[in-house]
Amino acid sequence: MKPHAIPELRLDPEQVRALAATLRVVRVPLRVRFRGLTEREVALVHGPAGWAEFGPFLEYGPGEARAWLAATVEAAYAGWPAPMRDRVAVNATVPAVAASEVAGVLARFRGAVTAKVKVAEPGQALRDDVDRVAAVRDVLGADGRIRVDANMGWDVAQARDALGRLAAYGLEYAEQPCPSVADLAALRIALARAGIDVPIAADESIRKASDPLLVARAGAADLVVVKVAPLGGVRRALAIVAECGLPAVVSSALDTSVGMAAGLALAAGMPSLDYACGLGTVRLLGGDVVANPVAPESGWLDVSRHLSGGVGPAADPDLVERWRVPGREDWWRERMLACAAV
C-alpha cells in the first residue's frame, strides 16, 4: 500500500466561490431520531455537471468539512465514473429505537434482507441493544443478515462482552465498535481468543483518519465502510478502497437524494461489491428535494433510474423552496469559503 497513490484533496477557490453563489440551504425533518438528530440541514449547489450536496454535520470544523467540499466540487464540476453494475443491494437502517418500534422502521425498507442496527447509544444499556437486535432477527427471520454499528461507543472489554452477547443473533459484522485503530486490532485478537466469530468493519478509522490506510496495515479490520463525502469524492474513495485491499461496504451520511446519488455512484463504480450498502437512509427522511427519490425498491437501487451520464438527479425547485431556510445561507456560504481556505 502506497499512501501517495491516493489523490490529494485539492480545491479551486474560483470553483468554490462559483458554487457558493448558487447555494440553497434546506432543512428536512427525520421520521425517527438518528444520530441524535430530528432534522437534517444541508446546502445544495449547482455546477456545470449538475446538482451537488454539501452536508457536513453542523459541528464539523473547516478542517474536517474540507473533504466534504471536495466531494461537492467533484459532483458539480466533473460528475462520476461510469458504473460497473446495473443495481446495488441496500440494507435497512435501524436507529437506536425501542424494540417495539423495530418492525415499523423495517417496514419502510420493504424487501431488504440485510439490516444495520445502531447500538451503544449514549444513555442506553446493553440490554436495549440486545432487545433491538433480537427484534430485528424476529422480523428478518433466520436468513436475514444483521450488522451492528457502535459508532466508537465501546472500549475493548465492553465490545468483547457486548459482541459476545449479540453474536447469538448471528452478526454479519460489527462496525467501528471502538475508537482507535489500536483498539480495533486488540478487539479482533480478544474476539478470536474468546471464540466469538464477529468480523470487524472500520468506518470512522477510515473517514476521519489522516491516514485512511493505517487500519489495513495494522490488521485492525476485516472490511472497510466508505462514504463519498468524508473521503473527498467518488474517485478518491475508489482509490482508498483499492489501496486498502479489503472488502468494502458503501454507506451514506444521512443525505438527501442529491447527496445519496454520489453514494450510489461509488457503489456502482466499485470493481467488487459483496455486501449490501447503507444507501437507504432517504427512507428515514420526512421529505426530499428531488421528484424521484434515490430510495431502494424491494431492497435494491436501480443505477440507471437515478444516474445518467455520470450525474445524479436534479433538485426540484418547488421541493427546494418547500424545505429552504434562507436565513442559514450566509452561514453555509462562509463555511464553504472557510473550507476552501484551509
Q: Are residues 31 and 159 in the same domain?
A: no
Q: Are residues 144 and 234 in the same domain?
A: yes
116 noted as active-site residue: no
User: 160 pLDDT exceeds 80?
Assistant: yes
Cell 450498502 locates to 277
In a domain, 311, yes or no: no
Q: What percent of the chain has pLDDT over 90?
A: 94
**Starting at the edge strand that comes first in sequence, how are the strands of the sheet with 24-34 ordered?**
24-34, 37-47, 50-54
Question: Which of the four pLDDT bands, split at 50, 70 and 90, describes residue 312?
Answer: very high
- Residue 169 is part of a domain; what is its CATH number? 3.20.20.120
Q: Supply the pTM of this predicted model.
A: 0.95
User: 56 pLDDT exceeds 70?
Assistant: yes
- Looking at residue 251, its pLDDT comes to 97
Q: Are residues 250 and 103 in the same domain?
A: yes
Domain that holds residue 115: 87-306
- Say if CB 133 and CB 117 are below 8 A apart: yes
User: What string of DSSP letters covers 109-149?
Assistant: TTT--EEEEE---TT--HHHHHHHHHHHHHHH-TT-EEEEE
User: 36 pLDDT exceeds 90?
Assistant: no
- Looking at residue 288, its pLDDT comes to 98
- The three-class DSSP label of residue 150 is coil
Q: Are residues 100 and 194 in the same domain?
A: yes
User: 231 pLDDT exceeds 50?
Assistant: yes
208 noted as active-site residue: no
In a domain, 200, yes or no: yes
- Rounded Cα distance between 156 and 184, Å, is 8
- Say if CB 289 and CB 258 are below 8 A apart: yes
User: What string of DSSP letters covers 166-208?
Assistant: HGGG-EEEEE--SSSHHHHHHHHHHHHHHT----EEESHHHHT
* Largest distance between two CA atoms of the chain: 57
Q: Are residues 241 and 199 in the same domain?
A: yes
Nearest alpha carbon to residue 226 among 201, 254, 199: 201
- Looking at residue 3, its pLDDT comes to 44
Distances (CA, A) of 65 to 35, 229, 295: 18, 9, 25
Q: Are residues 152 and 277 in the same domain?
A: yes
Mean pLDDT of 42-48: 98
- Residue 324 is part of a domain; what is its CATH number? 3.30.390.10
Q: Are residues 168 and 295 in the same domain?
A: yes
Question: Which of the four pLDDT bands, split at 50, 70 and 90, describes residue 4?
Answer: very low
Q: Are residues 157 and 258 in the same domain?
A: yes
Q: Are residues 141 and 69 in the same domain?
A: no
- The three-class DSSP label of residue 25 is strand
- The three-class DSSP label of residue 299 is coil
- Rounded Cα distance between 234 and 253, Å, is 14
236-282 tens-digit pLDDT = 999 999 999 999 999 998 999 999 999 999 999 999 999 999 999 99
Tell me which DSSP letter residue 86 carries: S
- Looking at residue 303, its pLDDT comes to 98
- Say if CB 295 and CB 257 are below 8 A apart: yes
Q: Are residues 164 and 281 in the same domain?
A: yes
Nearest alpha carbon to residue 231 among 201, 256, 263, 255: 263
Q: Are residues 96 and 244 in the same domain?
A: yes
Nearest alpha carbon to residue 43 among 325, 262, 342: 325
- Rounded Cα distance between 194 and 148, Å, is 19
Nearest alpha carbon to residue 310 among 111, 54, 21, 77: 77
Q: How many folded domains does the chain comprise? A: 2
93-122 tens-digit pLDDT = 999 999 999 999 999 999 999 999 999 999
* Strand-strand pairing, 248-251 and 300-302: unpaired
In a domain, 312, yes or no: no
The active-site residue, picked from 2, 116, 208, 227, is 227
Q: What percent of the chain has pLDDT over 70?
A: 99
- Say if CB 21 and CB 53 are below 8 A apart: no
**What is the rounded average pLDDT for all residues in the chain?**
96
Q: Are residues 213 and 324 in the same domain?
A: no
